[in-house]
Amino acid sequence: MAKRKAGKSNKAGKIDVIFIKLNSLVDLARQMMGSNSLKHVTAIKEGSAYKLISAGERVSNIQIMYYAAIEKIGKFFIYNVNAPEESIEMRDSIEGSISDYNTLKAPILELSENPFRVVKRPRFDIQVIEASDFESFVKSLISDSQYGGVSAKAYAFEYKGTRYIGSFELLRDSGKIFTYAKMKDSKVFNYLRYNYTNDKIEETNTVTEKAYTYVRVINLSEPFPFFIEKR
CB-CB neighbours of 45 under 10 Å: 13
Model pLDDT for residues 25-73, shown as the tens digit of each residue: 999 999 988 655 668 899 999 999 999 999 999 998 899 999 999 999 9
pLDDT single digits (tens) 136-181: 999 999 887 766 555 789 999 999 999 999 999 898 766 689 999 9
Q: Are strands 41-46 and 49-59 parallel, antiparallel or unpaired?
A: antiparallel
Tell me which of 58-62, 67-71, 83-87, 110-114 is least confident.
83-87
Predicted TM-score (pTM) of the model is 0.88
Percent of the chain with pLDDT over 90: 57
E strand or H helix that includes residue 105: strand 104-110
- How many angstroms from the chain centroid is the CA of residue 62? 16
Distance (Å, rounded) from C-alpha 134 to C-alpha 156?
12
* CA proximity to 80, closest of 65, 70, 92, 94: 94
Q: 12 falls in which pLDDT band (50, 70, 90)? A: low
Q: What integer best gives the mean pLDDT of the chain?
A: 86
Residue 165: its pLDDT value, please? 97
Judge contact between 56 and 66, C-beta under 8 A.
yes
89 vs 79: CA distance, rounded Å? 7
Per-residue pLDDT band for 76 (boundaries 50, 70, 90) equals very high
